[in-house]
Chain A
Amino acid sequence: MLATTTATAIAIRDLTVAYHDRAVLWDVDLDIPAGVLMAIVGPNGAGKTTLIKAILGLVPVVAGEVRIEGRPLAEVRRRVAYVPQRGSVDWDFPTSVLDVVMMGRYGALGWIRRPGRRERDAALAALEQVGMRDFAGRQISQLSGGQQQRVFLARALVQDAAIYLMDEPFQGVDATTERTIVGLLRELRSAGKTVVVVHHDLQTVPEYFDWVTLLNVRMIASGPVDAVFTPELLRRTYGGHIAFLGQDDGGLAAVAGGGA
């Protein structure tokens, strides 16, 4: 056993995930310290989403294990919240914004029990936080992409978890939503939460995050952005398909090419 102190939110050991006989993740070792705001970065097909799903127990694991706060997921499920990709559900489903957000409380409610006033209040408060309070009664098909994303964030907020896992929350959202999400991520971090985000846009990594994991089927590197988000390591992550646009205010601006 490796030491997993309380300071480690998620500890991943020798994690291998394969679909049929093709490995998607090879022997990944990763410690995510509690309280970081971390981006997972890597080219398409690098296994970023799979990594998050493996942490959540959504995909079968060939080998290795994931521990959350030192314990198996089943024991601490309520401490983990998940924001899936926006496109993973049918937005024409007949339900309201408030109803979707309340789904975040279903786990705490357990079997059979229905959400009541307390869940409703929590959901409204979460909607307020993402600036969607006025939309509570809306049918979800009437939302823009950015608004859909904020509804999903609110649903994760009402889970009142310690660890938040988000799959591409910035994908195809408007500027307002992007600002809201960034503000929210920072709020979560100052509240001591751990936030892990699958992220596509390399340029915003140093601005939005303090921790980064570079992934390409195997772990390339993980650590503070200053130490890990370097041209050398990025080149190793993306192979040749990357162009550097130069440095500005100490940060690194990079554009991933080749379909990344």
Chain B
Amino acid sequence: MALPELFHDLLFDYTLRTVALGAAILGCVSGTLGSYAVLRRQSLLGDAISHAALPGIALAFLLTGSKAPLVLVLGAAAAGWLGTLLVMGVVRTTRVKFDSALGIILSVFFGVGLVLLTFIQKRPDATQAGLDRFLFGQAATLLAHDVVTMAALGGLALLTMLLFWKELKLLSFDPEFGSTLGFPIRALDVLLTTLLVVAIVVGLQTVGVVLMSALVVAPAAAARQWTNRLGVMVALAGSFGALAGVSGAVLSSSAARLPTGPLIVLCASALVLLSLCLAPNRGIVWNALRQRRNRRRLQVDGEAIP
């Protein structure tokens, strides 16, 4: 597809415009809030939250009979939140470690979700069609009002983050010190986790539970390479996420049978690779060049003094 044509479609093709906008929002929100998860060594918490959301979606549908995006997203958020709480609870009260607890919650919640999905599927009214899009995500099914829901929820999460910027920074860097200053660290932790849950459920319909975690980790990991400032990192991660979202959506529209979710992940991964190699200061390429130059200089110096 030629470039001008692409821009034309992006602006005037309803489906592509909706999908690209939705992907941009999900990439931006998850990238921004994912920065905290990556910095706090909770990268894989996103994986647990997104898998744990599946039974919530099924249960929300089973209880209300509605497929309205807000209902399903609320179900997903509640289950994702419960899953996170259980992970923390297991780690705090038993000898089972964080990684095992994550693995168990992730796979068991997903299993429960599967049971519920297949259970719904076999009911006589068989109206589950559309729920399994949450497995891999189906960007093409995004409608304008889905995007509005995503934008409202994501916007709310980002605003909350900005409002509590100073407190969340303190929580991420030195929670114990924050506690001595009188901030309720436990409550802040719950707040940040809730924001991450929102970021993840916002993207589930587009990317699916299996790949959503990548959009929490990849933009943040890429952004970390370019800067040593939290503010810049968070903003960059949001931009990278949005960029990956839009490019994934556009690429997937460029040919038949190119699923959007995996393409978004591919774009985000490409950004990581690029950042790892080329980012100033931390980039591997610059580092290698610098080392080579230093070695050469040492050799020259060494020859001067036999």
Contact = CB atoms under 8 A, between A and B. Distances in A.
Chain A–chain B contact at Cβ < 8 A? yes
Interface of A: 56-58, 74, 77, 80, 82, 84, 88-90, 93-96, 99-100, 103, 106-107, 109, 111-115, 139, 141, 155
B165 interface: yes
Contacts of A114: 165-166
A107 B181 contact: yes
Interface in B157-189: 163-167, 169-170, 172-174, 176-183
B194 interface: no
A77 B182 contact: yes
6 contacts: A94-B228, A95-B169, A96-B229, A103-B174, A112-B163, A114-B166
Size category, B interface: 20 to 34
Contact of B167 (A82, A93, A111): A111
Contact of A84 (B165, B170, B174, B228): B174
A95 B177 contact: no
Contact of B228 (A57, A82, A95, A112): A95
Interface string B84-122: 000000000000000000000000000000000000000
A111 B213 CA distance: 31
B173 A80 contact: no
B224 interface: yes
Interface of B: 39, 163-167, 169-170, 172-174, 176-183, 224, 227-230, 232-233
B177 A103 contact: yes
B282 to A, nearest CB: 10
Contacts of B228: 94-96, 139, 141
Contacts of A57: 179-180
In this complex, the member of B166, B181, B228 whose beta carbon has the largest number of chain A beta carbons within 10 angstroms is: B181
Contacts of A113: 166
B260 to A, nearest CB: 31
Contact of A95 (B163, B165, B230): B230
Nearest to B165: A114
Nearest to A155: B177
Contacts of B183: 106-107
Nearest to A140: B228
A151 to B, nearest CB: 11
Contacts, number: 70
A96 B232 CA distance: 12
A179 B282 CA distance: 34
Contacts of A99: 230
B224 A107 contact: no
A36 to B, nearest CB: 21
A93 B169 CA distance: 10
Nearest to A93: B173
Contact of B166 (A77, A82, A115, A139): A115
Contact of A94 (B167, B177, B179, B229): B229
A106 B173 contact: no
A90 B183 CA distance: 20
B180 A94 contact: no
B179 A58 contact: yes
Given A94-B233, A95-B230, A112-B163, A89 B181 contact: no
A161 to B, nearest CB: 10
A99 B173 CA distance: 11
A94 to B, nearest CB: 5
Contacts of B180: 56-58, 77, 80, 82
Contacts of A107: 181-183
A89 B174 CA distance: 6
Contacts of B227: 94
Contact of B173 (A90, A109, A139): A90
Contacts of A155: 177
A68 B165 CA distance: 31
A115 to B, nearest CB: 7
Contacts of A100: 173
B39 A94 contact: yes
B39 to A, nearest CB: 6
Nearest to B178: A106
B170 A58 contact: no
Given A93-B39, A94-B229, A94-B230, A109 B182 contact: no
A250 B255 CA distance: 87
Contact of A88 (B165, B174, B181, B229): B174
Nearest to A102: B166
B181 A106 contact: yes
Given A95-B230, A114-B165, A106 B174 contact: no
A88 to B, nearest CB: 6
